Amino acid sequence: MAPDPSRIEKRLGQASILAILGLAAAGCRTDESMKPLGLPTPAVIAHRGASYAAPEHTFAAYDLAIAQGADFIEQDIHRTADGVLVVLHDATLDRTMRGPAQACSGAVREHTLAEVKSCDAGDWFNSANPSRAKAEYLGLRLPTLAEVLDRYLTTGRFYIEIKDPELYPGIESDLVALLASRGIAPVVDPVAPRVVVQSFSEASLKRVHQLGPTIPLIQLFSNSGSAAIAGALSGVRGYAVGIAPHAGSVDAALVEAAHRECLLLHTYTVDAQPEMLALLAMGADGIFTNRPDLMRAAVGASGRAMLPANCSP
């Protein structure tokens, strides 16, 4: 059945219309089963913040990402021994935290928030990247998710990855409760969502879906090949609004297959502009990058329909 444009416009707003036009051109059904997609498209997703130029998952990296035009800042989350959701990529502290070994090494889940807050989150970056080192990065602290939400509640959109959910029973409830305390879930405005939740774990995403059926979910895929991922799409559609495969598995056939299932396709992690442009030309709806400045320019150069970075439909 042909879509009724006035109904769709009321339901989803201008940003979603742009998203739908892209999906409809790919043969996607635009009927009532269409997911609400009021998300910037193509989306510039700052992977761990602007983490090429600043220490990942710090306020410095997030501030820079937003200044560079990112639509989303990404958070990977874990939980401390005293039950606080914190933002860092690894399940252990060793790679990115510096300080006394007793507090700053080993598993995050075996340390209290006070312990992990005592660690330096920028020193490692300066040592690993001397040409990008800055004195101001020394002394940065690992943020809690609550601190990130509060700092960017009106200026940013959050793209939160539930890492290693098997290590943290109940983390989905913790996350949704925290988002609820800031008013951005469990009911998410379909026209102007401020949060997306992603995971490699289908089970974890389905738990989030039960807690908040309107929370936009993205199913992550490792580099398992275009055909294998395409075979999983119809199942994903039952709980998620899109997929995010490793860029090595993305080809035009997968983009088309995702759009046919009314699923967005985001992909990770791309820092080279020619690759960004190639993925955008294939129809990718968003790219995780450590270099949001390059991606913002690539989106502009691609000629794809887009919204300004600061546009909230």
Given 47, 57, 78, 246, which residue is catalytic?
47
What burial letters (b/e) apply to 46-72, b meaning 16+ CB within 10 Å? Answer: bbbbbbbbbbbbbbbbbbbbbebbbbb
- Contact residues for 184 (Cβ-Cβ < 8 A; gap 6+): 149, 153, 158, 194, 195
Residues 60-89 that bind Ca ion (CB under 5 A): 76
Indicate whether 250 belongs to the interface with ligand G3P (CB under 6 A). no
Indicate whether 161 belongs to the interface with ligand G3P (CB under 6 A). yes
- Contact residues for 90 (Cβ-Cβ < 8 A; gap 6+): 96, 108
Question: Among this protein's residues, is 57 annotated catalytic?
Answer: no
Burial of 82 (0-12, 13-18, 19+ CB in 10 A): exposed
Residue 200: CB atoms within 10 Å: 16
The contact pattern for ligand G3P, residues 112-151, with x = CB under 6 A and - = no contact, is ----------------------------------------
Could you tell me the smallest distance in angstroms from the CB atom of residue 285 to Ca ion? 17
In 46-122, where does DSSP find H-type helix? 59-67, 101-104, 113-117
Q: Are strands 72-79 and 85-87 parallel, antiparallel or unpaired?
A: antiparallel
Among residues 71, 120, 161, 261, which is the contact residue for Ca ion, using CB under 5 A? 161
Judged by CB, which is closer to Ca ion: 78, or 207? 78
Question: Among this protein's residues, is 259 annotated catalytic?
Answer: no
Judged by CB, which is closer to ligand G3P: 23, or 45? 45
Task: Report what 268 binds from ligand G3P, Ca ion, none; CB cut-off 5-8 Å by kind.
Answer: ligand G3P
Q: Per the structure block, which two tokens stand in for 54?
A: 């600043």
- Contact residues for 62 (Cβ-Cβ < 8 A; gap 6+): 46, 49, 50, 73, 148, 151, 152, 156
Judged by CB, which is closer to ligand G3P: 57, or 194? 57
How long is the chain?
313
Residues 184-223 that bind ligand G3P (CB under 6 A): 198, 220
Could you tell me the smallest distance in angstroms from the CB atom of residue 66 to Ca ion? 18
Indicate whether 172 belongs to the interface with Ca ion (CB under 5 A). no
Task: Report what 265 binds from ligand G3P, Ca ion, none; CB cut-off 5-8 Å by kind.
Answer: none
Could you tell me the smallest distance in angstroms from the CB atom of residue 297 to Ca ion? 23
Could you tell me the smallest distance in angstroms from the CB atom of residue 71 to ligand G3P? 15
Given 57, 78, 89, 246, which residue is catalytic?
89
Judged by CB, which is closer to ligand G3P: 163, or 259? 163
Task: Report what 280 binds from ligand G3P, Ca ion, none; CB cut-off 5-8 Å by kind.
Answer: none
Judged by CB, which is closer to ligand G3P: 52, or 268? 268
Cβ atoms of residues 137 and 64 within 8 Å: no
Q: What are phi and psi of 63, to 5 degrees?
A: -60, -45
Give the number of residues in contact with Ca ion, rule: CB under 5 A: 2
Give 206-210 contacts, CB < 8 A, sequence gap 24+: 206/239, 207/172, 207/173, 208/162, 208/172, 208/175, 208/176, 209/239, 209/240
Among residues 54, 184, 268, 298, which is the contact residue for ligand G3P, using CB under 6 A? 268
Q: Per the structure block, which two tokens stand in for 169?
A: 């029973």
Rule CB under 5 A: which residues touch Ca ion?
76, 161
The catalytic residue positions are 47, 89
Rule CB under 6 A: which residues touch ligand G3P?
47, 76, 89, 161, 198, 220, 244, 268-269, 288
